[in-house]
A and B are shown apart, each in its own frame.
Chain A
Amino acid sequence: MEKKGRIGIPRALMFYRYVPFWRTFFESLGWEAIVSEGVGKKGKIIYFEDSCLPMKLLVTHATSLAGEVDHLFVPRLVSLHPKYILCPKFRGAPDIVRLAIEKKVSILDETIDLRTRKHSYRNAFSKIGEKLNASTKEIHSAFSKAERSYSSFQNEWVDRINRLPTKDLFRLEVPTPVLPKTLSPDEPALRVAFIGHPYNLFDTDINKDILGLAKQLGMRILTSDLLSEEVIEHEISNLSKEIYWSSGREIVGSLFHFLSGGVDGVVFITSFKCGIDALLQEFVKRVLRIRGGSSVPFLVLSFDEHTGREGLTTRLEAFKDVIEERKRQASNDKNPIPNKFQ
């Protein structure tokens, strides 16, 4: 089929959660969806504003696509939850991108705010469809296809994380490897929870492929995707004030959940200058201290553009040693001394 044109999707921010939906939607409407490549070791990051690394990467990715596509897809993400909001920086993202790209380029910057009906996912994508001159029927069918693609992707997601290299995680054409039924999945010894915003966890330009490194060290990766919303809500149900960032809720809830047991270690991945993480990280630390510490080893890794893979390897290896030592102690002594959390 003749493609109607090209739509650029920057590989940044919420791309790392919604790409199956976005890609399928545009492709079903007959457009070619182009996803930007990573920056890698040689590429240059564009410093338009003095923000966190994920935002700088959004600008970088969008700029790299600008000349090659008919439209750039940078939605204005206000809220992706019926009650809670996203980081305020996301609200200005399309404007930042527009100002940073000096050339004229069409940006699909429809507002998505699930707290209101006007800006629901369906309405936002209808408007985008209309801008792309699609009929209501076409939009409707593309939307259903996108929904299906997203949910099937979600179902396989947990397996995908552990069975595919990080660079292939979001390539929809790469199927999730299926393990033969006769063989029991060879469960590595260490179960480690990796918590953080999806872009911090899965963008190898930010985290230097920490997940790949962890898998090499024999860790099985768990993420907050494993937990249902009820579990997360339960962990943060009686705070003195409600956390109003949906991503923040997910992070705090899953940190509390995993730090209370069930895993061998917890790694929290954050970007330097992330306002939400900085504040909530302090909150989690203090609450744990008041509760008398956690028996699960906990590592906080803060990334920026200067983070090197070598230092990261050392820290992760040391963390692995701590986990193993703790496990050994626990098996020798049935009553492990709780770690005074620092």
Chain B
Amino acid sequence: MKVTFPHLGTMHIFCKAIAETAGIPYILPPETSRKTLSLGVLHSNECICLPFKIILGNFIEALRMGADTIVMVGSGPPCRLGLYDLVQKVILEDLGLHYRWLTIPPRLTWKAIWKNHEETRELRKELSLKNVLFFPYALWMGWRKMTFCETLERLAMKVRARETKKGETQKRFKSALSWVDEAKTSKTLEEAFRSGRNLLQETVQDFSRIPLRVAIVGELYTVMDPHINRGVEQKLGELGVEVTRTSWFSSHIRRSLRKGNVNDRIRFLDASKAYLGYDVGAECNISIGEAILRSREGYDGVVHLMPFACMPETTASGILTKVGKDWNIPILTITLDEQEIEGRIETLLEAFVEMLEWKKKAA
């Protein structure tokens, strides 16, 4: 058995930690690249959303490297994410790739647990006692690593806006992440995190600057994964903008476990009601609500990210143009697809930030 999982921001660190700690053999798909995307594009069609293509590309690469078991978080209606597995399974089968599929239930219901039980029947035979015994500890390690990664990323978002040497924070952030990734025991992990945090804090910063504040909202894959959004977060940061986002891997897991702080989400949903009278699904209402609340909180702008032809976010983008006018907050919607648009995004962001600066000066 060789387990594999898709890339999503720093999620691979989480998955890898679980597999490593529990001693389950795994194959990490190569970092999402142009080739990954081309594979996904080749084996789907133009109106299927970008996350589908990238995940498919990850799977094809991992299976070709020898993985045989795909672990994927499931999802449900109303958007297409819930049927990714249905379609990806037949595509992989058509390509002649062999795999077993394990869905992690998005919501813990009896039906989902039963399905999971069925799917793991074969797999469990291949697990040793050690794997099973270590699994709870492995989950805990994974969760710790993930929260550490996210804390580091939040810190990097703050530091980046004030760095004096462009690109310095990103370099330090990368090595901090790799330290956390490489830590094997709970003690070394703690140390890795602390030294990573110090490394980031020691970046030479210009504290006299008051950076612009921008919130990133939108579809969760495009918001969370720098490969999908071509590093919007980093680019904004390096233009001297302090970026905020509420879409984190841990927050989505907490939400599906119905634990933790869901107040933010309820707040955003409530705020969106003036514009959208029904929960459209996925992040649609959240994007709208967050844009409204961020404007009230005095943010300078909002960047809305969505994959091309995304069903819920298309509705959101239409409404957001109105929200921007009503609340006097600039909103930049960036639609992402497989085209090589990194340069265009850079130009868009530069112009956007410049506009925000003028707006601030005029006020």
Contacts and interface: CB of A to CB of B under 8 A. Distances in A.
A278 B45 contact: yes
B86 A76 contact: no
Interface stretch (A83-91, A315-323, A330-338): A83-91
B281 A91 contact: yes
A286 B49 contact: no
B87 A282 contact: yes
Given A49-B317, A244-B76, A92 B86 contact: no
A239 B77 CA distance: 16
B205 interface: no
A164 B79 CA distance: 37
B356 interface: no
Contacts of B101: 240
Interface string A74-117: 00101000000101110110111001100000000101000000
- Contact residues on B (Cβ < 8 Å of other chain), bracket: 35 or more
A339 interface: no
B93 interface: yes
A88 B281 CA distance: 7
B332 to A, nearest CB: 14
B90 A91 contact: no
Contacts of A96: 315, 318-319
Interface stretch (B4-12, B178-186, B263-271, B272-280): B272-280
A286 B275 CA distance: 40
B311 A278 contact: no
A151 to B, nearest CB: 29
B278 A91 contact: yes
Interface in A140-159: none
Contacts of A99: 275, 318-319, 322
Contacts of A245: 77-78
A92 B90 contact: no
A90 B78 CA distance: 11
Contact of B87 (A78, A87, A95, A283): A283
Interface string A243-262: 11100000000000000000
Contacts of B86: 239-241, 243, 283
A245 B49 CA distance: 17
Interface string B24-60: 0000000000000000000011111100100000000
Nearest to B115: A241
B93 to A, nearest CB: 6
Contacts of B280: 88-89, 91-92
A275 B281 contact: no
B311 A87 contact: yes
Contacts of B79: 88, 275
B300 to A, nearest CB: 24
Contacts of B85: 240-241
Contact of A50 (B48, B93, B275, B318): B318
B104 interface: no
A49 B279 CA distance: 18
Given A275-B49, A275-B80, A286-B87, A92 B94 contact: no
A50 to B, nearest CB: 6
A4 interface: no
B46 to A, nearest CB: 8
B48 A290 contact: no
A57 to B, nearest CB: 14
Contact of B284 (A92, A283, A286, A287): A92
Interface residues of A, number: 41
B94 A240 contact: no
A280 B91 CA distance: 12
Contacts of B335: 50
A282 B48 contact: yes
B317 A50 contact: yes
Contacts of A283: 86-87, 90
B317 to A, nearest CB: 6
B82 A244 contact: yes
Interface in B287-330: 309-312, 314-315, 317-319, 322
A31 interface: no
A281 B93 CA distance: 16
Contacts of A274: 47
Interface string B67-93: 000000000111110110111011101
A289 interface: yes
B277 A76 contact: yes
A135 interface: no
Given A92-B319, A273-B47, A282 B91 contact: yes
28 contacts: A51-B314, A51-B318, A88-B280, A88-B281, A88-B282, A88-B312, A89-B280, A91-B279, A91-B280, A92-B315, A95-B277, A96-B315, A99-B319, A240-B101, A241-B82, A243-B86, A244-B76, A275-B47, A275-B49, A275-B310, A276-B311, A279-B52, A279-B83, A279-B87, A281-B45, A286-B87, A286-B93, A290-B94
Given A276-B311, A279-B52, 19 more contacts: A49-B314, A49-B317, A50-B335, A51-B314, A85-B77, A88-B79, A88-B282, A88-B284, A88-B315, A96-B318, A111-B278, A240-B85, A240-B86, A245-B77, A273-B314, A275-B49, A282-B45, A282-B91, A283-B86
The 4 closest A-B CB pairs, nearest first, are A49-B318, A278-B47, A92-B315, A286-B90
